[in-house]
Amino acid sequence: MTEITHRTIATNGINLHIAEAGTGPLVLLVHGWPESWYSWRHQLPALAEAGFHAVAPDVRGYGDSDRPDAIAAYSMQDMVADYVGILDALGEEKAVIVGHDWGAPMAWTSAVLHPERYRAVVGMSVPFTPRSPAPPLQILRQRFAETFFYIVYFQEPGVAEKELEADPRRSLRLILYAISGDGRGMSGFAGKPKESGLLDGMTEPAVRPPWLTEADIDYYANEFGRSGFRGGINRYRNMDRDWEELPQLEGARVRQPALFIYGSKDGVVASNPASIETMRQQCDDLRNVIVLPGAGHWTQQERPTETNAALIAFLKGL
């Protein structure tokens, strides 16, 4: 198997740790919450063996990358600038950007704002959506005024961090299982009593799912044990700031060739199935929408073989 190597690069005024494999056209893999470069562990060697230079950073706030203190340092503008800076640091004019979970909006936004740098885009789990008619947190606070919703819960600095950092291994085990294809969907993330914590009501798996090994859980637990959860959660605390800072996303379209992959049991899409058709209408060249039967939210980890095949076919078709 192709070796995955690691280094730290300077970009956009911070240092980011990247994992990489292979040579050839650049494919930038952007992870979501609560993950790290490690969520792409199955894709890095597969893409390298298919003739690509695959690069997966620890997003700012995670792992061995810098963790700025200010909440505003986790705005979409800064995130997008980080990834353009990776291209610059690697001496690459263009790349294909791939994103999962929060990485998907980052990838879509990167493609819209920097079409000259990204020749294609892949979203996983979170489809491309138009700019909301009002600040998103304002909408969410109204919608979930009487019940728990995780994004609203994340807004008060320190609250979610205290809960999740009390036992990072348990927190990650519960979260990764809960919204996988083996778990109970988004039930732990929404609809509970308003005073709940995120982990309240989440259950331990009776049998650990085969895609998530004890070594995988150990890796994530060690990473978040060192970094804490604050950096990743700060991304959620910038949603209204993003809305204010990026008015140019109003009416934006994805012009590049695009691919979308999601699991049939992913609560993100299941909670808003119309989002797929909305995405189709906003993309000029959406080449495929691939549904992975039985998979939940952790697309590339739960179904690595199918995800790799879809990615490589898309990339080679460009």
pLDDT higher than threshold 80 for residue 184: no
Give the active site residue among 58, 78, 82, 101: 101
Percent of the chain exceeding pLDDT 70 equals 99
Q: Is 228 exposed, middle or buried (0-12, 13-18, 19+ CB in 10 A)?
A: middle
Q: How confident is the model at residue 270 (pLDDT cuts 50, 70, 90)?
A: confident
- For position 52, what pLDDT does the model report? 98
> For residues 155 and 267, which has the higher predicted lDDT (pLDDT)?
155
20-24, 141-145, 184-188: which has the minimum mean pLDDT? Answer: 184-188
- Indicate if 101 belongs to the active site: yes
Q: How confident is the model at residue 207 (pLDDT cuts 50, 70, 90)?
A: confident
Distances (CA, A) of 87 to 14, 21, 26, 258, 290: 14, 15, 9, 19, 28
Q: How many residues does the chain have?
A: 318
pLDDT higher than threshold 80 for residue 187: no
pLDDT higher than threshold 90 for residue 1: no
pLDDT higher than threshold 90 for residue 205: no
- For position 204, what pLDDT does the model report? 85
- For position 171, what pLDDT does the model report? 96
199-203, 301-305, 309-313: which has the minimum mean pLDDT? Answer: 199-203
128-132, 204-208, 268-272: which has the minimum mean pLDDT? Answer: 204-208
- For position 141, what pLDDT does the model report? 95
CATH number at residue 270: 3.40.50.1820
Task: Give the span between the Cα atoms of 226 and 246, in whole angstroms.
Answer: 32
What's the rounded mean pLDDT across residues 99-119?
98
The single-letter DSSP state of residue 187 is G
Query: For the chain, how many structural domains are there in total?
Result: 1
**pLDDT digits over 77-86, tens only?**
999 999 999 9
Containing domain of residue 192, as a range?
A: 5-316
Asked if residue 181 lies in contact with residue 125, where contact means CB atoms within 8 angstroms, the answer is no
Q: Within 13 Å and on the Cβ side, how many CA atoms surround 68?
A: 18
pLDDT higher than threshold 90 for residue 213: yes
Task: Give the span between the Cα atoms of 103 and 59, in whole angstroms.
Answer: 9
- For position 208, what pLDDT does the model report? 85
- For position 186, what pLDDT does the model report? 72
